[in-house]
Structure 1
Amino acid sequence: MFRVGIDIGGTKIAGGVVDETGRIIEKVRVDTPTDTVELADAVVNMVRHLSLHHEVVATGVAAAGFIDRDRATVIHAPNIAWRNEPLKAIFESRLGMPVAIENDANAAGWAEFRYGAGRDVDHMMMLTMGTGVGGAVILDGKLYRGGHGIGGELGHVRFTRDGLPCGCGQNGCLEQYASGRALQREANSIADAGGIGAGLAALRAEKGTISGPAISRLVLAGDEGAVEALRRVATALGEACGGFQAALDPELFVIGGGVAQLGEDLLGPVRLAYETSLPGYGDRPVAEFAIAQLGNDAGLIGAADLAVVEA
């Protein structure tokens, strides 16, 4: 039994045929159109193409934004002009098959729970460190969405009062302190200060900017400034996880996104900050931390699986 998963990103749309084990049978990618009508056409054409040689029973579409609890309407999308957009009805009328709409972070988290780093637990939280911080919550083996369908927005938990402005309209959100963008900001700050920032400053002078992958390379090379920049964002993430532990008590935190490629260089300071901010530490069970295993395919795998599992 095959299903199609579509993951709509800011620059690319990825689609794939997924089997019941979470394996991708066929995969395609196209650029993301800026026009919403053209975007819908691109998704429909992608699903039709992927269905030509496979018996597809349902489609799941993952996109950034607030999705209602019926997995039918995009209430608000930050990067696409969707406001109360009835995508489920639109796609089902054109494709003639069941379609489920899902938040992209939820889809990725579900994929990791079912087929990746979280497949051996029942209670899991996933945080993705990309441009922002995406989140997904799995409780008792079920994806938690909340009363209106938009729960689990972990990156928009307020991390500090009167903090940095966030694209969501608030100030001090976690994603301003624990994301790939935050890592770049910290690296630039350290480069400006001199001292251990000399390597970062030299990189910026040569390239004109300090990119995330370049910071990662410097971390792996042991550059003190880059390591300190990583420590700062990892500390913010770990402190937030201590609070999440107090509220929801997961068995496992799965960390994904570009910064997660640093593996233990990231998880070491995350664990330290988590432990030092955990209520009752030393007398209570603690969660494990793991790096996400499915990479950029997680969103489409999770969307495809949820289209059938929760049908």
Structure 2
Amino acid sequence: MSRLANELTIGIDIGGTSVRAAVVDAEGTMLDTLRAATPPTATALEHCLDRLVSELRDRWTVHAVGLAIAGFLSPDRQTVRFAPHLAWREVAVPAEMTQRWGLPVFAEHDANSAAVAELHFGAAARGHNTLVLALGTGIGAGMLMGGEIYRGSFGVAPEFGHIVVVPDGRPCGCGKHGCLERYCSGTGLVDTVVELLAQSEPGHSVLAAESQADPGSLTGRRVAAAAAEGDPIAVAAFASLARWLGQGMAMIADVFDPDLIVIAGGLGAASGLYLDEAREHYTTMVTGAGHRQLARIRPTQLGESAGVIGAAKVAELGLAALAEATAYPGGHAQ
């Protein structure tokens, strides 16, 4: 190993579609990675995590694990209260995993993990009040205020994926209709393609032929690849995403007034297909357009790895906090 072993932690990004794990060093470099499909039950998910951690520990000496979880966590991040795309409900995940693995385990919201990674190693390094929007299976959001994560009073802020941008729009798993997530996530992008295909003439899109032959072939990744190749349906779908993303960012800016917005997540890696157009919509839709300073809007520098790297950084910071508490059990050193 080229790094001291005590600098290594495991970061695991647990999303609605896939679970990605990596050994990460103190500079945010991923040394070893594994990926698996997200299992549908809590028991299967925990067994999946067991396997990933075991495989990585067979090859590396690590001292802690960080979990980036797409769901609501308690304010102390010791309990996963609800995860719309995962099976955990009111589960003390860090404590259970600590017992299973014999390692300190720390949990964080997946978008907050991405924000931590972008702050320390990526696009948010120079932001003061920063919004990180993670566009993946759903939409996660992290807010950094003066470099610190803002969690709200009860640990669930911010859920910007569930602000309503389309009144009476598509139904959302949260119970509302027209949420940003239903138009600007990977699943929302696929829904837009399905709607556009239903309205289009046959034979004008490669996606049309593919979806007729195999409806399961329509994924956010495939739509992004088709858009990059100029497929008209895919291009139109990203134009729709850009419109609603611009409106969503404008609504958020009216409340939060960030100086920097970072677009992360799986679709963040494809930001070249829509970010310029989204930025234009944001510029015209924000209140006071033309008479106020606007946030810089940047794509992720870490791509889909932000959640994993951030989770590993959360573990590193958690270890440091444990060491300090052990060294000075009555408080900080004077």
* TM norm. shorter chain > 0.5: yes
Gaps of 5+ in 1: none
Distance 1:238 1:90, change over 3 A: same
Q: Distance in 2 between matches of 1:247 and 1:239?
A: 13
Matches within 5 A, 1:160-171: 160-171=166-177
Aligned match for 2:129, one of 116, 123, 131: 123
Q: Contact between 2:82 and 2:88, CA under 8 Å: does it hold in 1?
A: yes
| Shift of residue 36, structure 1, vs aligned partner | 2.4
Gaps of 5+ in 2: 1-6, 322-334
Higher mean C-alpha displacement, 95-104 vs 204-213: 204-213
1:58 and 2:64 correspond: yes
Q: Distance in 2 between matches of 1:43 and 1:258?
A: 21
| Shift of residue 277, structure 1, vs aligned partner | 1.0
Q: Contact between 1:190 and 1:197, CA under 8 Å: does it hold in 2?
A: no
Q: Distance in 2 between matches of 1:196 and 1:280?
A: 43
Distance 1:177 1:9, change over 3 A: closer
| Shift of residue 258, structure 1, vs aligned partner | 3.7
Partner of residue 144, structure 1: 150
Higher mean C-alpha displacement, 136-145 vs 51-60: 51-60
The root-mean-square deviation of aligned C-alpha atoms, in Å, is: 2.6
Q: Contact between 1:118 and 1:252, CA under 8 Å: does it hold in 2?
A: yes
Q: Contact between 2:269 and 2:304, CA under 8 Å: does it hold in 1?
A: no
Q: Contact between 1:113 and 1:124, CA under 8 Å: does it hold in 2?
A: no
Aligned match for 2:80, one of 69, 74, 77: 74
Partner of 1:241, secondary structure, is: helix
Residues matched between the structures, number: 311
Partner of 1:191, secondary structure, is: helix
Partner of residue 324, structure 2: none
| Shift of residue 232, structure 1, vs aligned partner | 1.3
1:297 and 2:305 correspond: yes
1:186 and 2:162 correspond: no
Higher mean C-alpha displacement, 208-217 vs 297-306: 208-217
Q: C-alpha deviations, 1:80-124, integer Å up to 9, x for none?
A: 332110112212233333221112222123212221222222322
Matches within 5 A, 1:1-20: 1-20=7-26
Give aligned-pair identity as a percent. Answer: 36
Q: Aligned letter for 2:159? A: E
Q: Contact between 2:265 and 2:306, CA under 8 Å: does it hold in 1?
A: no
Distance 1:281 1:208, change over 3 A: same
| Shift of residue 45, structure 1, vs aligned partner | 4.7
Distance 1:224 1:296, change over 3 A: closer
Matches within 5 A, 1:246-265: 246-265=254-273
Matches within 5 A, 1:108-257: 108-194=114-200, 198-199=204-205, 202-204=208-210, 207-209=213-215, 210-257=218-265
Q: Contact between 1:260 and 1:291, CA under 8 Å: does it hold in 2?
A: yes
Q: Aligned letter for 2:11? A: G
Q: Aligned letter for 1:192? A: A
| Shift of residue 14, structure 1, vs aligned partner | 2.2
Distance 1:306 1:226, change over 3 A: same
Q: Distance in 1 between matches of 2:100 and 2:222?
A: 44
Partner of residue 43, structure 1: 49
Q: Contact between 1:237 and 1:270, CA under 8 Å: does it hold in 2?
A: yes
Partner of 1:75, secondary structure, is: strand
Q: Contact between 1:196 and 1:225, CA under 8 Å: does it hold in 2?
A: no
Q: Contact between 2:72 and 2:83, CA under 8 Å: does it hold in 1?
A: yes
Q: C-alpha deviations, 1:40-69, integer Å up to 9, x for none?
A: 244245434434554433221122211111
Q: Aligned letter for 2:234? A: A
| Shift of residue 195, structure 1, vs aligned partner | 6.3
Partner of residue 271, structure 1: 279
TM-score (norm 2): 0.83
Q: Distance in 2 between matches of 1:93 and 1:211?
A: 37
| Shift of residue 75, structure 1, vs aligned partner | 0.3
Q: Contact between 1:191 and 1:200, CA under 8 Å: does it hold in 2?
A: no
TM-score (norm 1): 0.88
Q: Aligned letter for 2:56? A: L
| Shift of residue 271, structure 1, vs aligned partner | 0.8
